[in-house]
Amino acid sequence: MSRITPSSFDAESVRSQFPVLNRELKQGRPVFLDSAASAQKPSAVIAKEREVEEQYFANAYRGRYSFGARIDEELEASRKKIASFIGAASGSQIAFTAGTTLGLNQVAFGWGRSRLQPGDEVVITPMEHHANFVPWQQLVRETGATLKMLPLTADGRLDVTAFDDVITRRTKIVAVCTMSNVLGTVNPVSDLARRAHHVGAILVADGAQSVPHSPTDVLSDDVDFLVFSGHKIYGPTGVGVIYGRADRLEEIEPIVFGGHMISRVTMDDSEWADTPARLEAGTLPIVQAIALGTAIDWVNQTGLESIHAHEQSLLAEATRRLMEIPGMRIYGPSPQYKGAIIAFRVENLHPEDLAAMLDRRGVFTRHGHHCTMPLHELLGVTATTRASFAAYNTMEDVDKLVHAIQFAREKLRLV
Amino acid sequence: MAGQVSLVQIRIMSIDELLEEFEDLLDWEEQCDFLIDLGFELPKFSADLKNEENIVKGCQSLVWLVAEPEVSDGVTVVCIRADSDSMIVRGLIAVLLAAYSEKTPQQILDLDIEALFQRMGLNQHLSSTRRNGLHGMVRRIRSIAASNCT
């Protein structure tokens, strides 16, 4: 655990590096509480995108001219930064993809399609984002395998006592989010990986929510695949990452075919390029993939441990303050078991009405099912309002959220 | 009948009166409050009307809508009632009722509702899910009108 106290982290100085958060709206500076959907970008990332576009843009891995060479160099540097950020040994274990959704589809179909048979099982959890739910649902339908769920405890954690019953010799794949995008629950990935490996299965981690907010170590967690997105870690949209253990990454068959991913094409057949190129068909999101490296530099310079400690202190304070509001119900475990996401409902206040009223106070939250319809079915509600925190949020943001909810309660005549 | 909404209650305001008040308001803040006020005034559905059949698809909020033809003075008009679990949506329902209720099927089909939404700035201020929901209600009303057109 980090010993850094919130006061040693200067959230105002962090915030000042995000131009969009320093706009003056009618209600003052925006209170941005939707980073779990997409984080804002610091000036450094925006500047890097601009630098690439203005100074040396070219297609990647093709041109024998100086711009092309510079692009290749920048892309490889970005791969290395990403690898070292998540504890991977080599940049060649990092494949660029469009985002977590495409990455998980590539893993599910590229690895699972040729390996799953009727009788085999894929184990996921009810708290998965649709991106880590629907591909497996489709894959088992196609292969005749079965989809199984790890059960949740009443407070929205995985029930560890059920691991051995659910993950069995029939299990071929365990796919789980490292952190829930609704409940905030942080899952015991290394325990799950150990159990999966014990029965001869692989562990696929959807890291979209945790990678930006707490340290990741793919080696000590021993995950086979980890997938995450650029835009949730202060980077650009349109780029994501598939990390694979070296031997596992070789086992993925391409599911997207075309330029760059081949070594030889004849009239009758094609041969694939080396990994990771064979998983990167077509033109990469070049500018975005390079700027993702800059986003990771930014997180490293700011300090991921300090960011984590700061966000957890915001989470604890926000939870405490929200629970004082009459009719408040927070979904998910207590702050010690989760990251800085709070999904909630206020009695007699429709989540979309609430989000609309918060917007009137310049407080930006998300409402709806957050791409987790099975989870919401389990929770017995169709929608929740979600506040999610990132490095640039401040205690003042927490205060404004609480006041905005009070405003909504007054306007909707609950006070 | 208990919970039955009388037509007298629905005839709160004509669409012209409603627009006049709405446009006198300073900004979206006040207009949103006005919609909420309309929402509070809208009669609630009884539990039996909140059934699967009356649910309007495409709304993130739950919306129940009943539209029935009724003959009044030898003319067929469409009587519309609706309810939602969202107060802002209830306000929007009140706008639709002011625009559509007690109109003949042909009048309903001829009404340019999009122009009304435009005039009220709703497209600008509502989320895309709300806009879809609003259009879902309009589609339901228009299809009932179309099937009662002579």
pLDDT at A301 over 70: yes
Q: Is residue B61 within 8 Å of A355, Cβ to Cβ?
A: no
* Sign for the pseudo-dihedral over CA of A306, A310, A315, A320: positive
CA distance A85 to A177: 18
Helix axes A286-302, A66-85, angle to 10 degrees: 40
Q: Is residue B53 part of a domain?
A: yes
Tens digit of each residue's pLDDT (9 = 90 or more) over B55-102: 987 666 789 999 888 888 888 899 999 999 999 999 999 999 999 988
- With tokens 């539209």, the residue in question is B67
Q: Is residue A206 within 8 Å of A240, Cβ to Cβ?
A: no
pLDDT at B8 over 50: no
In chain B, the number of structural domains is: 1
Contact B85 A413 (CB under 8 A): no
- With tokens 């310079």, the residue in question is A301
| Mean pLDDT lowest among A188-192, A195-199, B73-77 | B73-77
pLDDT at A198 over 90: yes
Q: Pick the residue with more confidence: A15 or B3? A: A15
Q: Which residues of chain B are within 8 Å of residue A382 when distances are taken between CB atoms?
A: 60, 62
B30 to chain A: closest CA residue:
A360
- With tokens 């405003």, the residue in question is A407
What CA–CA distances, in Å, run from A79 to A68, A95, A98, A102, A245? 17, 8, 15, 18, 15
Q: Is A115 on the interface with B (CB under 8 A)?
A: no
Nearest residue, CB atoms, A412 vs list B85, B87, B130: B87
- Going by C-alpha positions, the residue among A178, A171, A216 that lies closest to residue A195 is A171
> What is the domain-level CATH number for residue B66?
3.90.1010.10
CA distance A253 to A112: 9
SS3 sequence, A130-163? HHHCHHHHHHHHHHCCEEEECCECCCCCECHHHH
Structure tokens at A390: 């990132």
Tens digit of each residue's pLDDT (9 = 90 or more) over A87-111: 999 999 999 999 999 999 999 999 9
- Going by C-alpha positions, the residue among B74, B127, B77 that lies closest to residue A365 is B127
Q: What is the pLDDT of residue A155?
A: 97
Q: Is residue A312 within 8 Å of A6, Cβ to Cβ?
A: no
Q: Is residue B83 part of a domain?
A: yes
Q: What is the pLDDT of residue B105?
A: 92
Q: What is the pLDDT of residue A126?
A: 98
Range of the domain at B111: 7-147
Q: Is residue B1 part of a domain?
A: no
Q: Chains A, B: CB contacts under 8 A, how many?
A: 33
Q: Is A26 on the interface with B (CB under 8 A)?
A: no
Tens digit of each residue's pLDDT (9 = 90 or more) over A337-356: 999 999 999 999 999 999 99
pLDDT at B3 over 70: no
A399: left (phi over 0), alpha (psi -120 to 50) or beta: alpha
**Element (DSSP H or E) covering residue B33:** helix B28-41
Q: Is residue B98 part of a domain?
A: yes
Q: Is A25 on the interface with B (CB under 8 A)?
A: no
> Is A371 annotated in the active site?
yes
Q: What is the pLDDT of residue B71?
A: 87
Contact A352 B32 (CB under 8 A): no
- Burial per residue of A184-211, b for 16 or more beta-carbon CB atoms within 10 angstroms, e otherwise: bbbbbbeebbebbeebebbbbbbbbbbb
B91 to chain A: closest CA residue:
A353
pLDDT at B2 over 50: no
Residue type, B121: G
CA atoms within 13 A on the CB side of A4: 18
CA atoms within 13 A on the CB side of A289: 28
Q: Is residue B67 part of a domain?
A: yes
Q: Is residue B113 part of a domain?
A: yes
Domains and CATH numbers, chain A: 6-32+303-411 (3.90.1150.10), 45-301 (3.40.640.10)
Q: Measure B90 CA to nearest chain A CA, in Å.
A: 11
Q: Is residue B2 part of a domain?
A: no
Q: Is residue B39 part of a domain?
A: yes
CA distance A177 to A124: 9
Q: Which residues of chain B are within 8 Å of residue A411 when distances are taken between CB atoms?
A: 33, 36
Q: Pick the residue with more confidence: B80 or B7? A: B80
Q: Is residue A185 within 8 Å of A127, Cβ to Cβ?
A: yes
- Going by C-alpha positions, the residue among A314, A311, A343, A394 that lies closest to residue A129 is A343
Nearest residue, CB atoms, A383 vs list B33, B60, B89: B60
Structure tokens at A237: 């949209």
Q: Which residues of chain A are within 8 Å of residue B85 when distances are taken between CB atoms?
A: 350
> Which is the catalytic residue, given A189, A203, A342, A371?
A371
